[in-house]
Every structure is written in structure tokens, then in C-alpha cells.
Chain A
Amino acid sequence: MASIEFRNVAKSFDNGKVTVIPDLSFAINDKEFVVLVGPSGCGKSTTLRMIAGLEEASKGEIYIDNKLVNGVAPKDRDIAMVFQSYALYPHMTVYKNMAFALKLRKMPKTEIDRKVHAAAKMLGIEQLLDRKPGALSGGQRQRVALGRAMVRNPKVFLLDEPLSNLDAKLRTEMRSRIALLHKQLQTTFVYVTHDQTEAMTMADRIIVMDKGIVRQYDTPQKLYSEPADMFVAGFIGSPSMNFVDCTVRKNKGKITVDFAGNSMCVPEQKAKALVPYVDRTVVMGVRPENISAFADGQNECEGCVITAETEIAENTGGEVNVYFNLADSRCVACIRTEQKVSSGDVLKLFIDGNAVHFFDKETTGAISAV
């Protein structure tokens, strides 16, 4: 049980030639489940490895449980790590794999036995204790890796893309298992993934990273509803948010945005923030799920009706993902419809004005009322 804090941490490789993390500061609370998410090479794994002590920070300070841990060996940081490749010792049985760290701490045998069996029971791998990792499936190995981390009662659990080697069904199952584990263990969890669905479903808070910089650090709901910039907006949510260039106009005291021959009346609380941008181009972001099929009689004032020619339609069962072009941008809408939609169909779609986001075209930052 511990908090983690990064203060102006930088990390570079090859004697400073390659800087992965220029300047990183964040704090993780005790017992919190924080997910580090971002595209490949954004520095999230390096960050995790710096918490573990497998990489030394080039600059700055790292605190675990309010203690400075720069220069402290991994074994003395009281952390446990689950690797993407599981990193089980192939020549040891599951039992020995799980007991290894405890044995090194000279814990009494009966105590080791009790702990290993308790963890194995919790993870449902009791019947596998005598097997070697080579005889286990991917999912079973993953659970052994979790078990090996659990038995040590670490202050901090570090998980480096633990599910990316599993198939989709198993991944969903293990996702909820890990979330449950966090509840039961009441320990700080730091989880690295590039899968935003994993991040959204498991995290108390998410750190979105890009090029070694924290783009936004907030709860999943906040990231979704109030993304700080276009990167976060595009990264969180699936399919990704649509971005359309539009021009802000002031008309009879009302703020509207014009795009591709359409004009949308902006709801009042969003309009305020757009005042400084009148007659300038901004980027409008609309989530695919906020575009619906337009039904006659719907209140047009709350949004904008557009006509779109379907390029491709993907039926996902309950919904149809309709791809179309709008003002030179490729857009997608997730619509619920009974009708069959096929390529070439012209649809009337409704953009929910209350759910749109606006971003500064130059800084890519969100335009919000302060």
C-alpha cells in the first residue's frame, strides 16, 4: 500500500542521445488503480520500469510511499511486476515459481505453503501447482504470473501489458479478474497498456501519454467527456472521435459553426468559449456515438442535420458503423437503425450539438469555458 510520485523525471538512452521522457511529473494515490495508456513508444513502459527500478531515471525524483527510491534496487522497493511475456522460470513448477521470492526472504516453509495455496485458490490454479510453465496455456501462465506477484503482498503492483498475449475472449475475462483482484488486495496498481478499452474499463484514473509527455491524467469518464486535447480525444473511445474543420460565426447574437455547407447552432454554454474564435477556423470533434439517424420532427436547434453518402457500412450487430466524408474529413457514425445500410446510400444524420467538442486548430487544446 503506497503512493507513487514522479517529480520532473527525465529518461534518456545512449548517453543522452535518445530522450524518451523529457519531463514527467504525476502522483498516484494509495490503493489507486492507475492505467498508463498511449501509443507504442510513448514511454509508458519505460515509466513503469522506472517505478520498478529496472531503469534508472536520468533526472528527477521518484517516490514510493513518500520515500525517495532513486538508486534503490528493485528487490528493495517492495513492488511486484507482471510482465507481458509472463517471465515465469521455465525450469520450476508453478508452486516453485510462486514460492521463489518468499524463499529468498527466508520465510518459514509452512507460511510459504499457506500463501501459495491461498493465492492459487484465489486465481483458480490450485490444480496446476505441480506443472511447469511449458505445460500451461497462455491464460494459465498469466494467472501464475499474477499469483507470483500476489504472494509477496507488495506495496505496489506493476503490470506491463499483461493481457496483450491473450486472445480476445480471455482478455475480457482476465480484465475483470484483475479489476476484482485490485478490489480484494487493496493495493496500488499501475497498469500499462496500449488498449484504451482496457484502460477505460479497469482504471480509477488514466494517464494518457504521448512522446513521453502526460497529455491528460484523469478519471475515465472525464477523459471521455472532457478530453484535454485532440490527441486524448482521438485516443479514447472506439471508433475514434471525428474531427471536422469549421468556421465560427456570430449571427444575431448567436454563435454558429459552419462546415461543408451546414450551419450548426452552438448550445449556449459551449458558445461562450467560442466567442474569441469568431470568424476563425476551429476543429469540431464529434464522437461516432453522438451522430444518430435523423428522425423527422426531432428538434433541429439542439444540433445539426447533415446529409451523408455512405462509403462503407459495417454492421456490428446492434449498431451500424457508417463511414462518410464530411468537409474533407473521413467520418464515422455509430447509428442504431433497423434498416439495412449499404454503400452509396444517402442518409440524413443528426449531430448532437450538446455532445460536440471544440479544439484550437493550432494548439490542438480543447476550447472550454473557463
Chain B
Amino acid sequence: MQKSLKKYFPVFVLPVLAAFAVSFIVPFVTGVYLSFTHFKTVDSSEWVGLANYIGIITEDETFLPSLALTLRFTIVSIVTVNVLAFALALLLTRKLKGTNFFRTVFFMPNLIGGIVLGHIWSLIINGVLGFFGVDITYDPNYGFWGLVFVMNWQMIGYMMIIYIAGLQNIPDHINEAAAIDGASPARKLFGITIPMVMPSVTICTFLTLTNSFKLFDQNLALNGKAADTSLLALDIYKTFYDHTGLRLAEWHGIGQAKAVIFFLLVAAIAFIQLRATGGREVEN
């Protein structure tokens, strides 16, 4: 069995490997190469060494502020999305009427695409701010909290489903044993329930972290026009497309260098996150 499977190994693996190489590895490697060049198109590049990376600091004024904004946004989103999603999950795993209905309702925003969602909320938020004669671009705080709100609105339902699954995995007897042991509701929550849903917490924190860090569509649609509320992905996009003129090739190079740094950041965060929370998961 093993032997005959081995014989067919290339037949099964090659198509996927080829697709993966063409659509992922080749562009990725090309991208890394281009970050060391000035280029207008992929085949008109000129090697410049580390100039683009230095340029991010010296030429570009938006990268570091948008990195700071992204970090702030990510931290706030992780906390709000997870706390609210977990609270909803706790509420909707009680034996109340209509829980299935509400689970569906809370999940639905997740089915709407980011661009559409961003535009809808941009209409609503600007509609409300219109009463005060301003719009979402008026103050960077408006844009920031608007983004946090939209992120929460979209992600909570999804995370809630993961938390509900985690909560339902806790055997009834464990809760009953805690009741007999005399654990108060707060003690039960922090001493029993949360440690037992640690696998869900890991998954949800990880998902919120990467999703917030990489957020693009909502940012573009909700407040893409504002100069000071661009998260990293939007900032990279703008570096590419908001510049015209003679230095276009240079800006492309800088944008490409930003993208490589962006990749390294996302990869590093994901790696650290997995290491940090993996240990707290319950071995059963």
C-alpha cells in the first residue's frame, strides 16, 4: 500500500505544487527582488540595493505613522472583538428562547464583503456626522473609531460562533462539579470556563490579529480619502497608486519594500502568537 502510494506521489502533488509555485512562490520571490529595485513594470527594473528600505524612513512620511495606527487599531480590535464575541457567546449558550435566531443575526454581517460594508457604514456614519456639519475625514479619531466599529460589527459574529463551539465543548459535569465546589459565577468564568476555551481564544485572537493587521477593503471604502487614517495595507496601496510623475519607479520600489516589511511583520506576529498561547491550551 505504502509503496504503490509512493509511486503516485508526483502525480498527485505536482499539479498543486505547480499551481502554488505559479500563483504564490514566483510572485513572492519576484516581489522580494523588486523591493531592491526601482521599477515601473516587472520587467523594467533597476537594481538599487537597500535604497528603497532607507527611502521608507527618509523619503516617505506615512509609513511609521500608519504602522503606529495599525498597531493601535489591532490592539483595540483584538480586545473589543474578543471580549464582545465571548460575552455574546456566553449569553447565547444559555438556555434562552431565540438563541438560534440571534446567533444567525449576529453572524450575518460576516457574509457581506468588506468594500460593501465599508461603503454602507460610511453612508451611515457620514449621515449622522452630517448633522454636525462634518464627515468622517474631519478628525483622525472619527476614522479610527469608525474602523474599530466596522471591524467589530463584522468580526464579532464569526468569533462568537467559534466561542460558542468552545463553550459547548465543556462537559456539563465540569460545570456541575464547579457548582458543588462552590465557585461563584465570576470564579467559574475565570477559573474554569475561560481556561477551558483557551483553544478558541487562541484561534480567535490569531484571526482578529491577522485580520486587523491586514485590514484593507473596509479602510479603503470607509475612509480611504482621509490622509491620516490609512492602515498599513492601505498605505502601501497609496504609495503605489497615489504617486505620479518622474519618481514613479522609485515610489514603486518603496511601496514594494513596505510590502516586504509588512509580510515580515505579519509572519512574525503570527509566529509569536502561536508560541505564546499554544502553551495555555488544555491538553485533554
Which residues of A pack against B, CB within 8 Å?
Answer: 52-54, 73-76, 79-81, 83-85, 87-91, 100-101, 104-105, 132, 134, 148
Contacts and interface: CB of A to CB of B under 8 A. Distances in A.
B180 interface: yes
Contact of B180 (A74, A85, A89): A74
Nearest to B195: A91
B176 A104 contact: no
Contacts of A132: 283
Contact of A91 (B180, B184, B196): B196
B187 A90 contact: no
Given A89-B178, A134-B282, A148-B177, 14 more contacts: A73-B179, A81-B176, A83-B177, A84-B173, A85-B173, A87-B174, A87-B176, A87-B177, A88-B177, A89-B174, A90-B282, A101-B180, A104-B187, A132-B283
A83 B196 contact: no
Given A81-B177, A83-B173, A83-B177, A90 B284 contact: yes
Interface in B171-196: 171, 173-174, 176-184, 187, 191-192, 195-196
B198 interface: yes
B167 to A, nearest CB: 15
Contacts of B283: 90, 132, 134
A156 to B, nearest CB: 11
Contact of A85 (B171, B179, B191, B196): B171
Nearest to A85: B173
A74 B181 CA distance: 8
Contacts of B180: 52-54, 74-75, 79-81, 101
B238 to A, nearest CB: 46
A365 B38 CA distance: 100
A75 B284 contact: no
A84 B198 CA distance: 25
Chain B interface size, as a band, is 20 to 34
A91 B181 contact: no
Contacts of A105: 182
B179 A104 contact: no
Given A90-B196, A90-B284, A91-B195, A75 B173 contact: no
Contact of A74 (B174, B179, B184, B187): B179
Contacts of A54: 176, 179-180
Most buried by A among B173, B177, B184, B196: B177
Nearest to B180: A74
Interface string B63-74: 000000000000
A159 B177 CA distance: 12
Most buried by B among A80, A100, A148: A100
A76 B183 CA distance: 11
Nearest to A81: B180
A138 to B, nearest CB: 14
B174 A75 contact: no
Contacts of B282: 90-91, 134
A83 B198 contact: no
A106 to B, nearest CB: 11
Contacts of A101: 180-182
Contacts of A100: 181, 183, 191
A344 B184 CA distance: 67
Most buried by B among A85, A87, A105: A87
Most buried by B among A75, A83, A91: A91
Interface in B6-22: none
A100 B178 CA distance: 9
A104 B182 contact: yes
A89 B177 CA distance: 9
Contacts of B181: 75, 100-101, 104
Nearest to B280: A91
A52 B178 CA distance: 12
30 contacts: A52-B176, A53-B180, A54-B179, A54-B180, A73-B179, A74-B176, A74-B179, A75-B179, A76-B182, A79-B180, A80-B180, A81-B180, A83-B177, A85-B173, A87-B176, A87-B177, A88-B177, A89-B192, A89-B195, A89-B196, A90-B282, A90-B283, A91-B195, A91-B196, A91-B198, A100-B191, A104-B184, A104-B187, A105-B182, A134-B284
B188 to A, nearest CB: 10
B179 to A, nearest CB: 5
A208 to B, nearest CB: 26
Interface in B204-248: none
Contact of A75 (B182, B192, B196): B182
A238 B78 CA distance: 62
Contacts of B174: 87, 89-90
Contacts of B284: 90, 134
A311 B177 CA distance: 50
A74 B283 CA distance: 29
B173 A87 contact: yes
B171 A87 contact: yes
Contacts of B173: 83-85, 87
A134 B182 CA distance: 24
A89 B195 CA distance: 10
Contacts of A76: 182
Contacts of B187: 104
B183 A104 contact: yes
B176 A83 contact: yes
Nearest to A77: B180
Nearest to B175: A87
Contacts of A89: 174, 177-178, 192, 195-196
A81 B181 CA distance: 9
A52 B173 CA distance: 13
A14 to B, nearest CB: 12
Most buried by B among A52, A84, A89, A132: A89
B58 to A, nearest CB: 51
Nearest to A52: B180
B217 to A, nearest CB: 38
The 8 closest A-B pairs by CB, nearest first: A75-B182, A87-B173, A101-B181, A87-B177, A91-B195, A74-B180, A83-B173, A134-B283
